[in-house]
Structure 1
Amino acid sequence: MEYIIREIQNNSKEIENVKKFLYTQIKNEYGIGPTFKYHYDIENLVKYYILPEKNNFYISLDGNRIIGTGGIRAYDLNFDFFKDQYTKENTASIWRLMVDKNYRRCGIAHKLVSTIEEFAKDSKYSQIYLHTHRYLESGLPFWKSCGYKITLEEDDYDETTHMIKEII
């Protein structure tokens, strides 16, 4: 299969197509529709991923069809248990890594992560944070296969697992 990975363009049509792809994936995986509380970055892709110099958003394309996405941005969460451990200067965070179910197990997610990690290194981050959910069938095994280590498993309704990878 041939596909390409590239940065999202600051183009309203492409941004709308990315939003549609993301919301379709979220509906399929989580069973919910757009919820600003959780999806504020999707509604503001330009603000969160395109304009900041140390942030980026990638799409994978099969022809003109979006088949995967992944974003990286400076760490901007405020979890008390990571206070003073992660900063926006030294830590990037991965967001919105999603691949269309018809294109899974083809290496697209690994290639997106590799592209994101290269961007993080070039942007002088020393580590990458992410969180996933234990109820997602391939979430933890995938991230572990990419070299991410569990830092905390919460006993919350979302079965949240926090992970980190040193990239220096």
Structure 2
Amino acid sequence: MKREDETKILQFITKVQADMKTEEHGKQLKLLFSNPIPYGVSILLIITIGLPFDLPVVAVSGCILMTIFFLCKVQFQKFWKEMSIIFSSNGEDLTNLSKFYLENEKKRLFLIAEYNNHVIGTIAVRETEREGTGKLWRMFVDPSCRRMGIGSKLMKELFCAVQHLEYSSLELRTHETNTMAIEFYSRHGFRERKKTVFAEVFPCKLHAILFQKQLKQVETGF
């Protein structure tokens, strides 16, 4: 793999992850503002503090709502710091793609999709701690090229390419709000195996989902 090719791939991955991070930030903010707990606590405090002491309802309500808003902001910042690790571009493989995927004897694979000399998609496989199970990751498609079958073509090529790696199954992890990816993986034969808490700072919580697919000797039909 040429150095200029690695640079193009890294630039592509960095851009796509930045776009995903921005999109996810908006999703999490919407979830926070739709969470009934802060509103319930605010109403309870207004009733508990305002009514018994015959305080001005408007003033008490404003003060409490501002306090709850500030606390939620602080909590959300802590939560986002925990969960934004998902979008980090500092992975061990990204420091030297050729060395990590090609210049070793481990069962690793990295595929790209190109159009007009531009990278528009990537997918990779590496070993896990379990013998016979590979980890699918670095699955990215340019947002402007989605719904065009690029991801499916990459997945089909990967299923064929991993035959010589002797994996009996593949696994991957994604987060629960990444609904487009969950639908895509499910459509390609991956099944949910386990859900765990990835990041939690009250009142925010994010689950990570483990998916797994059993491989056949010859993958067809995609």
TM-score bracket, shorter-length normalisation? 0.7 to 0.9
Deviation at 1:12, TM superposition (A): 0.5
- Aligned twin of 1:160: 208
Matches within 5 A, 1:35-46: 35-36=89-90, 39-46=91-98
TM-score (norm: length of structure 1): 0.80
- Superposed CA deviations along residues 112-136 of structure 1, whole A, max 9, x for unmatched, are 1111111122221111111111111
Confirm whether residue 24 of structure 1 aligns to residue 15 of structure 2.
yes
Q: Which amino acid letter does the alignment assign opposite residue 50 of structure 1? A: L
Could you tell me which of 143, 148, 156 is aligned with 1:114? 156
Q: Distance in 2 between matches of 1:35 and 1:107?
A: 25
Could you tell me which of 114, 117, 121 is aligned with 1:68? 121
- Aligned twin of 1:145: 187
Q: Which amino acid letter does the alignment assign opposite residue 119 of structure 2? A: I
Q: Distance in 2 between matches of 1:52 and 1:92?
A: 16
Q: Distance in 2 between matches of 1:71 and 1:35?
A: 15
- Superposed CA deviations along residues 100-123 of structure 1, whole A, max 9, x for unmatched, are 011001111011111111112222
Q: Which amino acid letter does the alignment assign opposite residue 70 of structure 1? A: I
Deviation at 1:48, TM superposition (A): 2.4
Larger Rg: 2
Percent identity of the aligned residues? 23
Q: Distance in 2 between matches of 1:50 and 1:102?
A: 29
Q: Structure 2: which 5+ runs fail to align?
A: 23-83, 200-205, 217-222
Q: Distance in 2 between matches of 1:98 and 1:42?
A: 14
8 Å CA contact 1:67–1:99 kept in 2: the answer is yes
Q: Distance in 2 between matches of 1:74 and 1:156?
A: 22
Q: Distance in 1 between matches of 2:156 and 2:215?
A: 11
TM-score (norm: length of structure 2): 0.61
SS state at 1:154 partner: strand
Q: Which has the higher strand share?
A: 1
Q: Which has the higher helix share?
A: 2
Deviation at 1:155, TM superposition (A): 2.2
Where in structure 1 do 4 or more consecutive aligned residues deviate above 3 Å? 31-35
Q: Structure 1: which 5+ runs fail to align?
A: 1-9, 77-85
